[in-house]
Amino acid sequence: MKKLDSHLSEWTEKGLISKEQAQSIKQHEDGKTSKNYIVYGFLLLGATILGAGIISLIAANWYQIPDFVKLGIDFLILAGLGYSVFRNMDSEKKYIYEVLLTVFVLFVLGTIGLIAQIYQLGGKPYEAFFLWSVISLPAVMFSRKTYLPYLWSVIFLVSSSFVAANSHFFQHHFVVEALSWVFIITIVPVFCVFVCAFLNMLRKGERFIKISKELAILTSLLAIVTADIWISGKVVLWQAHEAVGPYSGLIFWLPCIVLAVSSLLVVYSKKMLSFRGRILLTLLILFHLLMFAIIVNMQDFSSTSFLKTHNQFSGAFLSITFLLLASFLAGVLGQRKIFQALVVFIGIRFLIVYFQAMGGLTKTGIGLVISGLVIIGMVYLWLKTRKHIEKIVERLER
């Protein structure tokens, strides 16, 4: 609201709107947003804590109560919660519906825990979360806010990644477990882009479109940071090159390529982005895949190349190039905050390169002085050139 107040004040001073108009706008916005987001925020937080509390109580092991009683009460509560959600579907107090739905969905997880406890099921926690995410998805889709779908999406991505990494298929085809994770962190961002493009094409699941777009960005950043650390830290992903079978490369890349191509086909056919935006997204996905191909192929340390002998800078080269592409795409899409955040990340990575190169000097006072001056210089440069960079990006869009 402070932002709106300062904008209204500025516009009134410049004569763009009258004082009465500014007052009307302020009153209208006050009525609309008022404390709704605070109410919703606290209620949903309370619902989550309530759900977690119920799960904890179940985990406290009521060994003295017969199992059939525990299960009976649990299913009664679950059914009761479900009925309450249904009865409040058209309620004027929309937060009641949302809170009840959140508690219902979390109680499903609690029930899974109770069943596992009663029948002494030996599964891993990520298996429970994966089962929960699969069976609760239909209910989550009826959420009218972003909180529950976001929570669901994060849990689904993490749990399905662990299920995949620990599956027989992955264990058989990726001889070393770390390779499974290279595959997973490559495919997850591409999968999120695919979901975003697919739902956009169907014009369904508006909330999930927004969430998948944000998760694509977050998981991409996570992937680039992980790749950078692996490459810069010379992490060896497998001990023997010959341990990887002849078809492992195809298994590794085929799903990623299929998803990437499918996403791009949708984006290009539906013209969801401008021409330059589509080019940038294509380059981004291809570079993302190329980067991980490089990580995998760099493991053959018997041969020499620039990338292999200069690991610490190859990681920086790849991540900075990727971040530059991503920031241009963010600019083209009009995502100003993401663009600015990405440019900050690029700056930080340049700084780390500097420290990597000048490692010894930073131990001395001279090094620290130079480092301090570099940081101040970069911030000054950023403040002076920020608007200029944003204008270049906007021109690309036109």
Q: Quote the Cα angle for 290-247-254, to 5°.
A: 45
**According to CB under 8 A, which one of 43, 50, 96, 115 is a site residue for other proteins?**
115
The distance of closest approach from Cβ of residue 195 to other proteins in the complex, given in angstroms and rounded to an integer, is 19
Give, as one character, the DSSP assignment of residue 243. G
Q: Determine the interface stretch with other proteins among 10-18, 34-42, 55-63, 182-190 (rule: CB under 8 A).
A: 55-63
Query: Residue 87, interface with other proteins (CB under 8 A)?
Result: no
- 219 CB contacts (<8 Å, ≥6 apart)? 157, 185, 188, 189, 192
Residue 371 contacts residue 362 (beta carbons within 8 Å): yes
Query: Residue 232, interface with other proteins (CB under 8 A)?
Result: no
**According to CB under 8 A, which one of 11, 86, 268, 350 is a site residue for other proteins?**
86
Query: Residue 79, interface with other proteins (CB under 8 A)?
Result: yes
Contact mark string toward other proteins, 2..41, x via CB under 8 A: ----------------------------------------
**According to CB under 8 A, which one of 22, 47, 103, 108 is a site residue for other proteins?**
108
Contact mark string toward other proteins, 156..195, x via CB under 8 A: ----------x-x--xx--x--------------------
CB atoms within 10 A of CB 306: 9
Tokens of 158: 């993490």
Q: Determine the interface stretch with other proteins among 38-46, 119-127, 197-205, 376-384 (rule: CB under 8 A).
A: 119-127
Cα(321)–Cα(167) distance, integer angstroms:
34
The distance of closest approach from Cβ of residue 170 to other proteins in the complex, given in angstroms and rounded to an integer, is 9
Closest-CA residue to 47 (of 99, 83, 89): 99
Size, binding site for other proteins by CB under 8 A: 39
Q: What percentage of the chain's residues is helix, strand, coil (to nearest 5)? A: 80, 0, 20
Query: Residue 117, interface with other proteins (CB under 8 A)?
Result: yes
Q: Determine the interface stretch with other proteins among 14-22, 122-130, 228-236, 376-384 (rule: CB under 8 A).
A: 122-130
Query: Residue 240, interface with other proteins (CB under 8 A)?
Result: no
CB atoms within 10 A of CB 241: 11
Cα(155)–Cα(160) distance, integer angstroms:
8
- For residue 271, give the H/E element and its range: none
Residue 113 contacts residue 58 (beta carbons within 8 Å): yes
